Amino acid sequence: MAAAIHDSVLQTLALIQRSSRDPGEVTRLARAQERELRAWLFEARPPGSFDASQVTTLAQGVAAVESEVEESHRVAVESVVVGDCALSDELRALLGAGREAAVNAAAWSGAPTVSLFAEVEPTRVSLFVRDRGKGFDPAGVPGDRRGISDSICARMARHGGTAHIRSIVGEGTEVELVMPTAESQG
């Protein structure tokens, strides 16, 4: 639950603080957050999840992340998808972690563009989220900031995947998410 609240409410509150001088933007953000919370409360669709009836493949999921982050954060998002496959619970988790990484890049990196690169291979699916922003020291992230640890790393681990964050101050950040496929485990 903490990851879901972080991915939605806390991120939106941070955006509202940044947009406090633009009442129209504050209203837009608040309404979007209200819709997301209502979907969670009344439709059991957690924040950051993908509607199974609309998003059924990895490529569609990457496109949904691209569109959502661009719209919410007013930062260009470019994506490339090599291969495609049906979404499983594990790949939905990968997309959720990728969404969080893209939101973090859009909100905090200062980069004008965030890049998504997804690749489907026989034994794994990878998703890279990159920015050429200000970068940060991952070891220096305060313990009460749960976005990376819960919404990215723990989410991937719960579903059998891995997350690696590489960041260089002044050069940018790359988040590598890898989920083994069912074929690699069988």
User: How does DSSP assign 107-173, residue by residue?
Assistant: HHS--SEEEEEEEE-SSEEEEEEEE-S----GGGS-TT--IIIIIIIIHHHHTT-EEEEEEETTTEE
Residue 59 has pLDDT above 90, yes or no: yes
Residue 53 has pLDDT above 70, yes or no: no
pLDDT tens-digit readout, 10-21? 777 777 777 778
From the list 71, 89, 67, the residue with the least C-alpha distance to 79 is 67
Dihedral over Cα of 89, 53, 176, 102: its sign: negative
The C-alpha atoms of residue 154 and residue 7 are separated, in whole angstroms, by 13
Least confident interval from 10-24, 100-114, 129-143 = 10-24
Q: Which token pair is 142?
A: 């305060």
Whole-model pTM? 0.74
Write down the number of H helices and E strands in the chain.
7, 5
What's the pLDDT score for residue 33?
73
